[in-house]
Amino acid sequence: RLFASGEYSDLTVICENQEYKLHKNILCVQYDWFKKACDGDFKESETNVIDLTKEDVDPRAVRAMLQYLYTRNYDTQCATTDVTAEPIEPAMFHVLVFAVGEKYLLPGLKALAKDKFENIVSSTSWTEYDFPAVVTAIYDTTPASVKDLRTIV
């Protein structure tokens, strides 16, 4: 409920045209990346605003990440919340969520995205267009040392 309502929020996260009213006591206590952003010598610690717009992350994946931080889960409806964005296939969405988990040091989110990706891959027949795009995204959005999704495809 707190994620959806933003009630009693003391931190704002912005990503492109989306703004999220969040709670430091939920994010900073559990997640080092947010703790460092809010407690360090960064402007975010003074303004209580974290702008991820220039971070080269998909805003739909950011929404899934934030939903996960509150609920320990995310749903693929996050992939369709921005009406201005191009539609995204579920497999690709989970790849982008995995990449966000890697970038913001969230191993639990990475594990969840990997599981969801693996479930999609094992139950879906690929088209000739989907598969190359997904493989390219896996290699483009994660370091070579991160092989979690690479071993699946």
Q: What is the mean pLDDT of residues 100-113?
A: 96
**What DSSP string describes 26-78?**
HHHHH-HHHHHHHHSSSHHHHH-EEE-TTS---HHHHHHHHHHHHHS---GGG
Q: What is the mean pLDDT of residues 3-20?
A: 89
Q: Which domains does the chain have, with CATH numbers?
A: 2-141 (3.30.710.10)
Classify the phi-psi angles of 127: left when phi > 0, otherwise alpha if psi is within -120 to 50, otherwise beta.
beta
pLDDT in tens, 26-85: 999 889 889 988 987 888 888 999 999 888 899 999 999 999 999 999 988 765 555 556
pLDDT at 123: 81
Q: What is the rounded CA–CA span in Å between residue 30 and residue 145?
A: 25
Q: pTM of the full predicted structure?
A: 0.87
Q: What is the rounded CA–CA span in Å between residue 144 and residue 68?
A: 25
Q: What is the mean pLDDT of residues 121-146?
A: 84
pLDDT at 109 over 80: yes
